[in-house]
Amino acid sequence: MRSRRTGGTPEAQGDRLTPTRADEMVQRYGPVGPNDTILATFGNKSLIAFYQRDNGRCAVNAVVFEQTDAETGMTTAARVRVSLSPRQMVHIDSSDNQTLHLQCGDYAKTLAVVDDDLEIAAR
């Protein structure tokens, strides 16, 4: 799925992406603050996540779901809850070998999707 960035800097936009097709989910990689939403698609999965600060940690709540099957109309989902220390990451894999990495920012001020080698979103 291809998406394009909207105008402005990623920091000003919260790294929002506009879908190029009507059936695509908007992508928002962060960084986001507490109770703000990350939206991401990786492989055949989609993710909606937010966090709350908890004693200097990121208490992350995420729902990972498969994109709806056109034939059956079914969507499968799983809730993930994890507590991350600052700069710690959680790795979520799709069944087609794609991985999404969520990282807690310094002092648990942010949560962002990051790439293996290069951060997509700043701390």
Q: What is the pLDDT of residues 46-75, one digit of tens each?
A: 999 999 999 999 999 999 998 666 677 777
Least confident of 5-9, 42-46, 75-79: 5-9
The residue among 36, 22, 3 whose CA lies nearest residue 120 is: 3
Q: What DSSP element (H or E) covers 12?
A: helix 10-13
Adjacency order of strands within the sheet including 111-114: 89-93, 99-104, 111-114
